Structure 1
Amino acid sequence: MNHASRAVKKSPKSFADLPPIRVRREPPTVAEAVAAAQDLADDLEQQVEIACGLIGLPADEVRPHVVAASRRKPERVPERIMSPGSPSRAPRTVIVERRTRAPVVVERRGRPLDPRR
């Protein structure tokens, strides 16, 4: 005798039934910390402090890496907002406008608010 199996609804698991979430902590490498510090500060001593805080190493170990990276990295060039496409053409102007939408009106269907009606 073959009996057809019935679909059984599973009960949802609660958070207490699940194993704890494990978070993997990987501190950044020296090169990553120095690059982040250079992007956050211009002063070398501030870069050393930032990199030390990210890596967790003393300043004496991090300082040579920051100094070496500052020699390799050229000075920051200010970003241009507009640059001409070619010397013969003037730069194009971009105009940004905000358009507002018409307010949405929702009609209430059902009982009127005034009970005298």
Structure 2
Amino acid sequence: MKKTPKSFADLPPIRVRKEPPTIVEAVAAAQDLADDLDQQVEIAAGLIGLPADEVRPHVLAAQRAKTERRPERMPERIFSQGGPSRAPRTVIVERRTRPPVIVERRGRPLDPRR
């Protein structure tokens, strides 16, 4: 006996739990989105739903902690080993494509006597 599929009307409604981000999460997101402190305050306040005056001390504290932890990093560069007379190595990456596999479909199996 085959089961009848349930329709979406038979299922209970989907409940989504909405939690606003914490202050730490909102400040971290704002720091990733903007460099200006005023913009960070506005973004974090918008995410949490609090006034900007309440969020500003948290953004400033996070900025101080970020600069104390590690200064701005230099961009990563790859230096070649050796002196000026030695040229850096060149790496060439080639991709080979394989021909597509063609599968023939036949209506009936092959006759083994052929």
Identity, % of aligned pairs?
A: 61
Counterpart Cα distance in 2 of 1:63 and 1:55: 12
Matched ranges for 1:65-80 at <5 A: 65-74=58-67, 75-80=71-76
Q: Which runs of 5+ in 2 are unaligned?
A: 83-87, 107-114
TM-score normalized by the length of structure 2: 0.69
Q: Which runs of 5+ in 1 are unaligned?
A: 1-7, 85-89, 111-117
* Number of equivalences: 98
Q: After alignment, is 70-79 or 58-67 more displaced?
A: 70-79
Summarize deviations over 1:33-63 as a string: whole Å, max 9, x none. 1111112211101111111121111111111
Matched ranges for 1:22-101 at <5 A: 22-74=15-67, 75-82=71-78, 90=81, 95=91, 97-101=93-97
* Aligned residues: CA RMSD: 2.8
Q: Residues 16 and 108 (structure 1 numbering): CA distance in 2 closer, same or farther, change over 3 Å?
A: same
Counterpart Cα distance in 2 of 1:70 and 1:61: 16
Q: Tell me the SS of whatever aligns to 2:11.
A: coil
Q: What is the Cα deviation at residue 9 of structure 1?
A: 3.3
TM-score normalized by the length of structure 1: 0.67
Matched ranges for 1:8-23 at <5 A: 8-23=1-16
Q: After alignment, is 70-79 or 100-109 more displaced?
A: 100-109
